[in-house]
Structure formats: structure tokens, C-alpha cells
Amino acid sequence: MSTISATMVKELREKTGAGIMDCKGALAECDGDMSQAIDFLRKKGLATAAKRAGRAMTEGIIESYIHMDNKLGVLVEVNCETDFVAKNDDFKEFAKNIAMHIAATNPVGIRPEDVPEETLNREKEIYRGQVLEMGKPEKIADKIVEGKMQKYFKESCLMNQAYVRDPDMTVEDLLNEMIAKIGENISISRFTRFRIGEL
């Protein structure tokens, strides 16, 4: 078994934001393998997030991001359980990063279920037309369309999107890490993106 050095713990802490003891434990569990330890902490974060999912969130902040040319702006509401966390710098930075991500990626909704029915139907029709145009038989067309819709959700729904500052993780992964770090339930409840000339 490899020795877990303070430098390794520090590096893992910087990469994940997890506590010192959690980092030490993850490295011990993964025999000093840094990437396995990161995955281990992410899974732990998911488990923590799942445990906290039912708790009420009546506090939070509305964060804004205005792009440097002043032609693009975002308002996002991020909720938490207590006023104490709403004033926490890590929480505020998380909200700011989400606002910047929304400015960059222009999501259609937060989750797939937030995408309007007419938008879904239009996308399905377009994909179906493309598939039939390729000469694919009817019975496999539906399967291909389903695959294309999954890709659409990945690109268009905030939680499913690859996080712009770290494409190896999704926005949902980032949220779950934040929940594990802060120790409270957190949610991104709504956003509005403004661009000059767009309605």
C-alpha cells in the first residue's frame, strides 16, 4: 500500500474542495491513485446529495453575470437551506459560476422535464425527418431519434451540460460536489438569459 503524503492530500483537496479527512480517506481507499480518489469523492458527493434531497430550501441568492461587452446578461436563483450558507463565499462563487456557464451555453431549461412540449416535438420531428431521409427503416428510426434526443438533453439542459470550466464534469456533478462540501441541500431553481436584440 502506498504512503499518503500531505502533498497528495493537498492536491486532492484543491481539485475537489473536499475536507482534509475526506481526501485522506479517499486516497487511502484508492491506494494513492489520484483520479480514482476524485471519482470516489464524487460518488460520495452524490450519496450525500441524495440524502439531503428532501430538505426544504427557503434561503438563497439571486446572482447576476454581465458579459464584458454589456450585450449579454444572466440572472440565476440558487437556493439553500439557511441564511448562513446563502452568505458563504463558496456558495456565492458557485452561483456566479453557474450564471457564467448559462451565459456561455444558453440552456433551454434546467432539466429535461423543463423543456416545453412543443420544443421537444419539434426536435423529434426534425430528427425523424433526418433519419428517414437517410433511408433508415421505420422500426429503427425511433431508436435513432431517442439517441438523438438524449444528445439534445445533454447539450441543452443545464444539469446535463458539461461544465464549461471543467468539461469532464456536468453541472449536476458540480452541484453535488457543492452539496457535499457545504453540507446543505442546494438547488438551481430558475434563470433568465438576456441578449441585446433577442426576445
Residue 197 pLDDT grade (very low, low, confident, very high; cuts 50, 70, 90): confident
pTM: 0.69
Q: How many CB atoms lie within 10 A of CB 28?
A: 13
Has residue 50 got a pLDDT over 60?
no
- Rounded to whole angstroms, the Cα distance separating 23 from 34 reads 10
6-52 CATH = 1.10.8.10
Q: Does the 59-110+157-195 domain belong in CATH 3.40.640.10?
A: no
SS3 state at 139: helix
- Rounded to whole angstroms, the Cα distance separating 57 from 185 reads 7
- Rounded to whole angstroms, the Cα distance separating 174 from 15 reads 12
| pLDDT number for residue 167 | 93
Cell reading at 62: 439571486
Residue range 58-101, pLDDT digits in tens: 799 999 999 988 999 999 999 998 899 999 999 999 999 999 99
Region at 42 (left for phi over 0; alpha for psi -120 to 50; beta for the rest): alpha
What residue ranges do the domains of the chain occupy?
6-52, 59-110+157-195, 116-156
Region at 31 (left for phi over 0; alpha for psi -120 to 50; beta for the rest): left
Residue range 143-160, pLDDT digits in tens: 888 899 999 999 999 999
Multiple choice CATH, 116-156, 3.30.70, 1.10.3470, 2.40.128, 1.10.286: 1.10.286
CA distances to 75, 102, 160 from 152, rounded to whole Å, are 24, 16, 10
